[in-house]
Structure 1
Amino acid sequence: MAKNYEALAKTILQDVGGRDNVNSVAHCTTRLRFKLKNIKKANDDDLKDTDGVVTVVKAAGQYQVVIGNEVADVYEAVLKEGKLAGGGEVPDDYGEDDDTRFIDKAIALISGIFQDILGPLSAGGIIKGLVVMCAAFGWLSTTSGAYQILYAIGDSIFYFLPIFLGVTTARRFRMNQFIGLAIGAVLTYPSIVAFTTSKTVLGALFKGTAFASEIHTSFFGIPVVTMNYTSTVLPVIAAVWFGSVIEHWANRWVPTVIKTFIVPVVTMVITLPVTLIVIGPITTWVGDAIGATMSAVYGFSPIFAGIVMGAVWQVLVIFGVHWGIVAVTTADLATLGYDPILGLTCMVCYAQIGVVLAIIRQTKDQNLKKNAIGAFFSGLFGVTEPSIYGVTLPRKVPFILSCIGGAVSGGIIGAFGSRLYMLPSMGIFAIPAYANPKGMDTMQMIGVVVAGVIAFIVGFALQILFGKKYVDQEYNEKQAKKAELVDQEVVKGTKLVSPLDGTVMPLAEVKDEVFSSGAMGQGVAVEPTNGLLRAPADGKMVMTFATGHAVGMKSNDGAEILIHIGMDTVNLQGKGFETLVQKGQEVKAGDPLVKFDIDAIKEAGYTVTTPIVITNSKEYGQVRQVAFGEVKTGDKILDLEPLEEDQLDQDVAAQAQLS
């Protein structure tokens, strides 16, 4: 096979009807699987003759180009050449003409990575919050089996977050998803986590600074700065990105026959040591730097520090670098008995859910409303990831408004001088952590409560006043596209009448695999008793043949109708047929289209079973046979039902897959 994948990809795209004819493309072990807008535009014969293409198969609504063992390489070349998205994913940004801003790309990337796990995140947050609440009210003992099991159910997705993110990040970077999963699993592997508490210390880096890091092990003599990566975000995302680069590089030179196992070996053996030695520590030190900076800012002004911390906290959470603040808090609690820094952020969650509640009121998108309600209840217990990644961040301005509300909450906590005296829980259950065990400071506690209430009000009010137009932008665009589809003739419901006198039969009973399989489209067949074919609907003739054996028309309601008189009757070269219409001619239901001699056709050894096929069946919700047995010309035989709401959504989504 030719190794010039770019040239092969260009040829394939050209012969499937061009990039604009492609809705989506994916691949399996041997085949490129295209979903085409119009399968008739594909050039089967040229594709089959192309060096590097084994054959072409049309099945299950897909146009399948069989490549063989090198399909993954050809697939990558097709994506790049056509600027397409694979497997129904959001398109990656190719090409120099893409003027999308970096911040928009980053937001789309982060939101996309978290999108598939929002449900479990919401569930985990709600369960965890309820369990903590039960313990706080004395309904469950923290040493009981029930508490520990339920807490594990709620906390597991957060603890093993790198594993989940390994899969979803790999999908975004078009990497083997199970390699991404393996990268996340290694970062949370017990012995890797255990290094952080090992009593064996081989040395330390940056002693006496905010970046002080102990070295507990080495890799072939190279010191490894051990970090705890459970519940982190940025390290695994950076690691999977690096791994995708290595995997794509390995795919280019590893021989095809051993790619299946050698490429994963090469990818993991290079990616994971580099992650543990370089990527992980660097991303962790970013958090440490933020923690040290905020400590200095607090010394300058607690109120200003509160405003800054409240404003940026959710941004730090997005990238998973907020753990540097937690590290500072742990150190302060150990040495001072209290910490003022992390305490500035504990009510930010209520600004976030204030915005979310406003969005629940404002949105017309029922899917968004459903997700936002779950995110709201999760946020009540302090778990805002579902709110951030699934609701506010993708819409940008609502997220910014929540950061403003967070800044207000942080400033209030700073003004009251509220401090943490233990590591806090989540949301409302963080309030007890502000109680000084040496003597209750009522004003500190009041400050925290006031901050939470005002943050909620500010977030809600800002979204109501300034954020509404940003809530349903994407939804409104989809609705507009759906309206366009509804306005197109192809999605309007219609009814077709029988073009013949005779007996109706299901298309599956036609003794021809092309028709009976539904590959050409859905419909019915008629065994005619007279030799005059009439129009089944009002419309225009779009296809006639000199042989007279078939005609094609498009109804005024958009149905593309193929009527084929008999099987293999093209071989009669027009004998026994007389075409009564011309291509482009307007016709009314019942107008004569073709005369044919039933006896002559049968004497020549051919059947006259006549399929009536809707070749654009996929643009309808259902093509339903409504007549059975004997019919007369003009009797209703097919009901073409319009697309349902979810099918329209799928059509819009398919169109959106093109970059």
Structure 2
Amino acid sequence: MGKFEKDAKVLLDAIGGKENVSAVTHCATRMRFVLNDEKKADVKTIEAIPAVKGTFTNAGQFQVIIGNDVPIFYNDFTAVSGIEGVSKEAAKSAAKNNQNPVQRVMTLLAEIFTPIIPAIIVGGLILGFRNIIDQVQWGFWGGQTIAQHSQFWSGISAFLWLPGEAIFQFLPVGIVWSVSRKMGTSQILGIVLGICLVSPQLLNAYDVASTPAAEIAKKWVWDFGFFTVRRIGYQGQVIPALLAGLSLSYLEIFWRKRIPEVVSMIFVPFLSLIPALILAHTVLGPIGWTIGQWISTIVYAGLTGPVKWLFGAIFGAVYAPFVITGLHHMTNAIDTQLVTDTGGTGLWPMIALSNIAQGSAVFAYYLMNRHKEREAQVSLPATISAYLGVTEPALFGVNVKYVYPLVAGMIGSSIAGFLSVTFNVTANAIGIGGLPGILSIKVKYMLPFFFIMLIAIAVPIALTFFFRKVGFLTKAEDELMVDSQDEALAVAEEKATVQVGTVAEVKSPLTGRVKALSEATDPVFAQGVMGQGVVIEPSEGLLTAPVDGVVSVLFPTKHAVGLITDQGLELLMHIGMDTVNLEGKGFEAHIKQGDKVAVGDKLISFDRDVIKEAGYITETPVIVTNQEDYQVDTAEQLPHEIKRGDALLKASKI
């Protein structure tokens, strides 16, 4: 009998049987199912399976968190079920069948915008800093701004114009590149097409409205004798860039299938780029421009019209569920279009307020459960993350799980959204979310936004306490408390016979910058679901053994490895996020599963440039997965720079 055969049988029954499984695969820590009917999955039974650490659904996949034993569990599951596993990409493809057309479009938008969000956030933050330097008038300086009072800060503002304007002026380049990356076509062609949309040889999109039509017809056209084409750029435009990028990718895919490989290098790029460029400037660009203006006009009307209070209340309430479903990525395009067309966006302030409201709800939950170690370890980092604009840990770790904090946050966010549009609060652009979001707000709206922030903090906290006291929507937590009490008794009986006090020292497997695990990008790691530890941003591409032990798991794609020591300490190191998609490209393993290793032995070499060029991050969680047996503490205060072999963690047997 396999190690997990019994658990695998229970899981098969709990997900609705073999006939309910459309596809199954796994990554370094999770079983990933595409189910024909997700309603048949008995989540409570699944999460009660000893080997299961939790479940969640994302992008049409029902994911069951197992831990670093997932390859063994997967083998036992396929054996008892008779279901042949598929690749992760095949599973993702099958998962699209569980999505309606709107969800598929939103998923596509999410996958296109995700790689460029860091640049957009940086651009918004830079504009926010310049906003403070250039526009806030200080009474003790006679009404002068910082830039007017200080030549140094005036120079800083002028210098910051370069990256701030570059990000938004040349945003179409990033969008077309990201489309090419997502579609698996030539990224350099995407970059070239993007440049052709924002070339200095074109009339800047920001100057079109102020340029007379007669001047455009005379100076800003390509004249082909019997017809002309307007020579207008698409700086800051989102939809034209999306349509142009998609046309380029589909043309390249079309020609790849029809042109012999021996001459494809010559003809495929030419027959893809030139028609896409023509379409961009004659059809898709003008259409996209018009659609973008329609969307921004409609949203702007909602933000400024006679029922703007209702629009603000509804958007404030539904934004958190948007994050849960992934629909929130569509707001990036709308925000950017609003900035282009109206000089600012009223959506971003409400998004920042929603971050704050959900963070406040989970903070209230933390205050109520701060003496429960496991709950506090999840809820406090989730609070900090949400207050800084990343709400996934708060939503998936606490609020969605227990429902009533989610509803309290939604109500607080709704009230804040109502007030935000009532006072016409506007941001310069997309910036950092949460509490620092005030930096992206236009100066004249900063004071009302500050008071609305206080409401977004106070209301969810008060409602979370109130809902818990009266028992409103607390059924999920009440049931979990009963189950936890039974589990606690069993664990206490088992641990009564185990000697405690043994301390294991974990060395750093990487050179780089180490920070708290709660700052990990992946919410499953950030919430501590997989275990406790840290996350390291490597500056070199070599992972070494942090302890003496045995290689318990080596993932086939070589991006993750697990170790177990003679004392029973179990470690997992996961290089990058979603790097399983690289299928081993850029990774070289120096060990195999079952090998004995000593501290400092080479485990995996990896090419950081390959990972980054593919659009993934290299941050590496180093975690103790059997956290129920060990108390994990960091060797030094975080964050700090670290070298391979330096003291990283101390794990004490409990």
Please give the TM-score of this superposition, normalised by the length of structure 2: 0.45
- Whichever of the two has the greater Rg, that structure is 1
